[in-house]
């Protein structure tokens, strides 16, 4: 501490340690917030007809579902939230009688920059699976 440079050295080293402890305590405080917000999925249209995927000619039966999502996610935005990851899951029963729940490969996310109340969602969700089945249930899942 005898010279200017040594004071800068000592103070900055202690500042780094204190900053790391502060960040660790902020991260640990995030575990105190446990919420279970619910949302609803409204289907506006379901169309089933045989068509082919892009750039192929093989005809398959495809289901096109348009839906709206209504969810109040404000309890999830605590002080340490940077991004939210939401998952949409489709549950169906195929001919073997097993109810399989595929985890969709596409996931969509919100950042706190978008206003939760008036967010405009225009995310395309495409999932192809082979199912000879009856009944298709859509559920909105929160973060795991």
Partner 1 sequence: MSGLAKSVQEWTEGRIDFEGQAFVELISRVVLIGSAIVAFIVGFVMQSLAVTFVIFGGTTAVLALVVLPPWPMFNAHPVEWLPKVETKEKGK
19 or 70: CB nearest partner 1? 19
Name the residue nearer to partner 1 (CB basis): 12 or 56. 12
Q: Tell me which DSSP letter residue 130 carries.
A: -
Query: Applying CB under 8 A, what is the total number of residues that bind partner 1?
Result: 21
CB contact set of 69 (below 8 Å; sequence gap of 6+): 39, 40, 41, 42, 88, 121, 140
Beta-ladder partners of 61: 50
List binders of partner 1 among 62-121 (CB under 8 A): 78-80
Q: Is 67 helix (H, G, I), strand (E, B) or coil?
A: strand
87 — phi, psi (to 5°)?
-125, 140
Binding mask 27-56 for partner 1 (x = CB under 8 A): --x---------------------------
Q: How far is the CB of 70 from partner 1 (least distance, A)?
A: 25
Q: Alpha-carbon distance 1 to 82, whole Å?
A: 40
Binding interface with partner 1 (CB under 8 A): 1-5, 7-8, 10-11, 14-15, 18-19, 21-22, 25-26, 29, 78-80
């Amino acid at each position: 501490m005898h010279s200017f440079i040594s004071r800068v050295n000592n103070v900055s080293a202690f500042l780094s340690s204190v900053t790391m402890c502060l960040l660790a305590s902020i991260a640990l405080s995030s575990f105190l917030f446990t919420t279970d917000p619910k949302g609803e999925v409204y289907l506006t249209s379901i169309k089933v007809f045989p068509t082919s995927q892009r750039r192929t000619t093989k005809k398959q039966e495809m289901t096109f579902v348009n839906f709206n999502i209504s969810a109040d996610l404000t309890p999830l935005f605590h002080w340490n939230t940077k991004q939210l990851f939401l998952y949409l899951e489709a549950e169906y029963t195929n001919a073997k009688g097993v109810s399989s729940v595929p985890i969709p490969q596409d996931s969509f996310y919100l950042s706190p920059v978008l206003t939760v109340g008036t967010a405009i969602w225009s995310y395309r969700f495409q999932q192809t699976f082979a199912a000879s089945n009856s009944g298709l249930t859509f559920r909105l899942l929160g973060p795991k």
